[in-house]
Amino acid sequence: MNNTVNIYTDGACRGNPGPGGWGAVLKYKDKERELYGAEPNTTNNRMELMAAIKGLEALKKPSKVCITTDSLYLLKGISEWLPDWIRRGWKTAARKPVKNVDLWQRLVAAQQQHSIEWKWIKGHAGHVENERADALANRAIDELLKSAPKQSTTHATGRT
């Protein structure tokens, strides 16, 4: 039996910046959990990062994890750019501050106790779990806009 926690993530934004949402589908053996949330004024990249962060933060113990994302920003950031950003004190090659540094640092902390494999898939290409994560991100935006346009929200369903 596979002992890997699979996390499928997506972010969405209506306007960039604008109201944004994130969604994550967590699967472990026969269990599933959906997480989603929104912020009133954010960017798509921040929501992509938040989906991965929230997925990892939901894990209760060190785990073998496979995170699947359709965000090249997230994938390249975590697998290519991050070591140089850290080495340069969170500066880009052009010596400018790294965008979304607060979330990158939170992601670094969230992944510390886990063994993580990162995978990229093409978005909106019929991948079932990616489509679910996208639907959760958009649901979060819809709920935010209906209920409290100035607040951020977070929701969870299921158990892992």
| DSSP letter (8 states) at residue 126 | S
Whether 84 sits among the annotated catalytic residues: the reply is: no
Sheet containing strand 115-120, edge to edge, reads: 115-120, 64-69, 4-13, 18-28, 31-42, 153-158
Q: Please indicate whether residue 155 is annotated as part of the active site.
A: no
CA-based nearest residue to 61, from 108, 107, 113, 111:
113
Name the catalytic one among 15, 117, 124, 158: 124
**Is 134 labeled as catalytic in the residue annotation?**
yes
Q: Is 12:24 a contact under the CB 8 Å cutoff?
A: no
Among the listed residues 48, 55, 77, 129, the single catalytic one is 48
Nearest CA among 50, 55, 61, 68 for reference residue 13: 50
Q: Quick check: is 142 catalytic? A: no
84 labeled binding residue: no
Catalytic residue among 55, 70, 77, 129: 70
Q: Is 129 annotated as a binding residue?
A: no
* 10 marked among binding-site residues: yes
Q: Return the structure tokens found at 9.
A: 């993530």
Q: Indicate which residue of 34, 39, 129, 134 is catalytic.
A: 134
List the binding residues for Mg(2+). 10, 48, 70, 134
List the binding residues. 10, 48, 70, 134
Residues that are catalytic: 10-11, 48, 70, 124, 134
